[in-house]
């Protein structure tokens, strides 16, 4: 009965204090790709992505019923940092769906104009004026949104008198940006303005000495793309190294004895796994311990790298390569260590049975692309005598004939192009496509079919895989080099690939470029197969990795190499146009179609280069 009354009361009080228009709400996921393009077209920082903002605790005045219901304590505010522009996951503030959709695009435009913020009230007005001045076509839409937002704010006469002046100033600033120079003082925070950006949340770092990212470690690899339903949380670092040191004191008489055992009816749970994600979603700030370590951590092991006798064969002492630091706008010399590797224990293998039919079909198609011999007449050297040229000399003595070009020569009309395929073999490729197939399995099949096709038309090609563990070791896996004939040994190495580690893409691209530069062909193609954006467990996460990869791609283009990326990342439109250009990548939405698409893409690229 108590539960029933509680549910009825909860529904009643929630309906009384409910705000917004859920039926007119729009989700960020629906417009994320469009908003990203819109943000960058209006001058947003390159490399920034559009992500969902987490709800933030507000300290504004709440009516009595809202305080009783415990609602309206948090709201998802729009803000940005160096990595991304954060927008509310859902907007249902206005009564019409078109208005809520327009509000998303206005926030993206404001984010492009206001990358940093010092004074929330003044700078939002100035940025609004700047947008309306430089883009007068947005003025009508903004006036519509401003009137609709003001209509949803509380009536000034319903507020406590000490808050009325501040609310009146905010409403005047929304309707006439730039008309209010300062915000009147009042108790608490003002009610949030959906049209404006807010400062990034403050992160309380109380640990004193923050260790280098190399020492922090990671128990597992982060997801390459963050779900919109699981936005990032604010973090508070706490040094508890000395909090648990000392003597633990307790009273033995405080313990229950057998005679004092109390029978309690505890609910039985079939699933003992805790809902850790749900618990994290309920927290506003997640406290992280920086110094606390388990006893076993006192003995330090590098568990990322396999033991040398179990690892692949190292080819040479390794190669030092630079890395681009966009914050310093400088190339860090010899910052990365690239280690070429070879799976020397891979067993030579035949093509798997499930790929033979498709491979035979590709071989027949690519066999038609073999270089054809063209017969050239009147050549100074050749295999046969050109009788027509000889007869012209004998029958037309008055006609001048250049030299003694009396031979027939056969010349092959071949494509002068070398291709290097660079495959991402990071841990993210271990994720499942189906119950029986992983991403790395699809990549493996694609490389096999691609090799079968190119070997049929005699085009020179090489295949490498890459993964990384910080900048200390970028593993550059040799699967087939240019001078090697495609054989059972090559198939064995491709079949032996396994996912592991992270994706430091810039260094892998630079090493691939150095390999391609040694080829004598006029055209050079670098095909990159990846399932996500560049990342690693150090500072390479986010914009740093994107900027370094972009710099490596620009270096490749300046050296006459054409990079092209094939990705299965659903969020690729947020960052790949910035990296490769609008025509420099393709998104494969159905990863199981990748083995079929890869040879076709090669044909299209070989004709367009």
Average pLDDT over residues 68-76: 81
How does residue 550 score in pLDDT terms, banded at 50, 70 and 90? Answer: very high
Q: Is residue 308 part of a domain?
A: no
Q: Is residue 196 part of a domain?
A: no
Taking a C-beta distance cutoff of 8 angstroms, is the pair 548, 323 a contact? yes
Mean pLDDT score of the chain, rounded to an integer? 81
Q: Is residue 221 part of a domain?
A: no
Q: Is residue 120 part of a domain?
A: yes
Average pLDDT over residues 246-271: 52
241 with 353, same domain?
A: no
Q: For residue 37, is pLDDT > 70?
A: yes
The count of domains in the chain is 4
- Nearest Cα neighbor of 134 from 145, 126, 124, 122 is 126
Q: For residue 589, is pLDDT > 60?
A: yes
500 with 592, same domain?
A: yes
Q: Residue 396: which domain range? A: 372-413
Q: For residue 358, is pLDDT > 80?
A: yes
Q: For residue 222, is pLDDT > 60?
A: no
22 with 104, same domain?
A: yes
User: Looking at residue 207, what is its pLDDT?
Assistant: 40
34 with 163, same domain?
A: yes
356 with 391, same domain?
A: no
Q: Is residue 394 part of a domain?
A: yes
Q: Is residue 163 part of a domain?
A: yes
CA dihedral 433→438→440→442, nearest 10 degrees, is -60
114 with 163, same domain?
A: yes
How does residue 402 score in pLDDT terms, banded at 50, 70 and 90? Answer: low
Residues 570 and 244: their CA atoms lie apart, in Å, by: 45
How does residue 224 score in pLDDT terms, banded at 50, 70 and 90? Answer: very low
The string of DSSP letters for 190-213 reads: PPP-TTS--PPPP--B-SSSPPPH
User: Looking at residue 373, what is its pLDDT?
Assistant: 57
User: Looking at residue 559, what is its pLDDT?
Assistant: 94
Q: Is residue 262 part of a domain?
A: no
Least confident among 107-116, 230-239, 441-450, 529-538 = 230-239
- Nearest Cα neighbor of 145 from 94, 97, 197, 191 is 94
Q: What is the pLDDT of residues 449-481, one digit of tens each?
A: 999 999 988 889 999 999 999 999 999 999 999
Q: What is the pLDDT of residues 266-293, one digit of tens each?
A: 544 444 445 566 666 666 566 665 544 4
Q: What is the pLDDT of residues 20-31, one digit of tens each?
A: 888 999 999 898
Q: For residue 423, is pLDDT > 90?
A: yes
515 with 423, same domain?
A: yes
141 with 249, same domain?
A: no
360 with 383, same domain?
A: no
Q: How many CA atoms lie within 13 A of 397 on its CB side?
A: 1
377 with 288, same domain?
A: no
* Residue 581: CATH number of its domain: 3.40.50.410
Q: Is residue 167 part of a domain?
A: yes
Q: What is the pLDDT of residues 300-349, one digit of tens each?
A: 444 456 656 567 888 888 999 999 999 999 999 999 999 999 998 899 99
User: Looking at residue 279, what is its pLDDT?
Assistant: 64
Q: How many CA atoms lie within 13 A of 574 on its CB side?
A: 23
Q: What is the pLDDT of residues 555-571, one digit of tens each?
A: 999 999 999 999 988 88
244 with 341, same domain?
A: no
Domain end among 159, 175, 191:
175
Q: For residue 179, is pLDDT > 60?
A: yes
Residues 359 and 74: their CA atoms lie apart, in Å, by: 57
**Burial grade of 332 (CB within 10 A; 0-12, 13-18, 19 or more):** middle
Report helix, strand and coil shares of the chain as percent, to nearest 5: 40, 20, 40
86 with 167, same domain?
A: yes
């Amino acid at each position: 009965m108590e539960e029933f009354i509680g549910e009825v009361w909860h529904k009643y009080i929630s309906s009384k204090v409910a705000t917004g228009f859920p039926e007119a709400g729009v989700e960020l996921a629906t417009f994320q790709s469009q908003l990203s393009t819109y943000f960058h077209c209006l001058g947003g920082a390159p490399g920034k992505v559009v992500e969902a903002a987490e709800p933030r605790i507000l300290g504004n005045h709440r009516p009595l019923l809202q305080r009783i219901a415990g609602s309206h304590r948090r709201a998802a505010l729009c803000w940005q940092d160096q990595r991304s522009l954060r927008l509310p996951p859902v907007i249902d503030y206005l009564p019409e769906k078109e208005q809520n959709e327009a509000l998303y695009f206005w926030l993206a435009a404001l984010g492009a104009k206001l990358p940093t913020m010092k004074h929330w009230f003044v700078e939002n007005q100035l940025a609004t004026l700047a947008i309306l001045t430089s883009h007068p076509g947005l003025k009508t839409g903004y006036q519509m949104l401003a009137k609709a937002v003001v209509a949803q704010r509380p009536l000034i006469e319903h507020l406590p008198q000490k808050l009325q002046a501040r609310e009146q100033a905010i409403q005047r600033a929304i309707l006439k940006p730039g008309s209010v120079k300062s915000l009147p003082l009042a108790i608490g925070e003002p009610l949030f303005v959906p049209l404006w950006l807010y400062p990034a949340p403050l992160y309380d770092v109380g640990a004193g000495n923050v260790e280098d990212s190399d020492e922090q470690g990671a128990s597992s690899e982060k997801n390459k793309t963050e779900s919109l339903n699981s936005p990032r949380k604010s973090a508070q670092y706490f040094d508890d190294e000395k909090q648990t040191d000392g003597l633990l004191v307790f009273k033995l008489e405080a313990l229950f004895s057998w005679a004092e055992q109390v029978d309690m009816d505890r609910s039985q749970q079939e699933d003992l796994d805790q809902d850790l994600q749900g618990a994290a979603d309920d927290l506003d700030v997640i406290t992280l311990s920086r110094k606390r370590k388990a006893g076993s951590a006192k003995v330090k092991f590098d568990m990322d790298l396999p033991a040398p006798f179990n690892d692949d064969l190292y080819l040479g002492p390794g190669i030092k390569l630079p890395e681009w630091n966009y914050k310093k706008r400088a190339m860090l010399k010899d910052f990365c260590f690239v280690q070429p590797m070879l799976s020397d224990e891979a067993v030579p293998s035949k093509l798997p049975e499930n790929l033979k039919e498709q491979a035979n079909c590709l071989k027949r198609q690519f066999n038609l692309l073999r270089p054809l011999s063209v017969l050239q007449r009147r050549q100074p050297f050749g295999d046969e005598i050109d009788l027509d040229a000889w007869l012209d000399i004998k029958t037309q003595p008055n006609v001048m004939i250049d030299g003694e070009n009396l031979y027939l020569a056969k010349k092959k009309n071949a494509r002068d192009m070398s291709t290097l395929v660079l495959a991402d073999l990071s841990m993210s490729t271990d994720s499942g496509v189906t119950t029986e197939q992983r991403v790395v399995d699809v990549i493996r099949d694609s490389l096999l079919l691609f090799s079968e096709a190119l070997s049929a038309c005699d085009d020179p090609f090489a295949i490498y895989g890459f993964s990384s563990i910080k900048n200390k070791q970028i593993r550059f896996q040799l699967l087939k080099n240019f001078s090697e004939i495609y054989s059972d040994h090559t198939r064995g190495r491709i079949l032996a690939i396994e996912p592991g580690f992270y994706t430091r893409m810039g260094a892998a691209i630079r090493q691939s470029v150095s390999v391609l530069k040694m080829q004598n062909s006029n055209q050079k193609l670098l095909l990159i197969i990846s399932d996500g954006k560049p990342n690693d467990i150090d500072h390479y996460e986010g914009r740093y990795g994107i900027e370094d990869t972009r710099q490596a791609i620009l270096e490749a283009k300046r050296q006459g190499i054409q990079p092209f990326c094939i990705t299965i990342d659903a969020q690729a439109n947020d960052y790949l146009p910035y990296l490769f250009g609008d025509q420099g990548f393709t998104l494969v939405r159905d990863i199981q179609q990748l083995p079929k698409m890869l040879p076709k893409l090669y044909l299209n690229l070989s004709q367009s280069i």
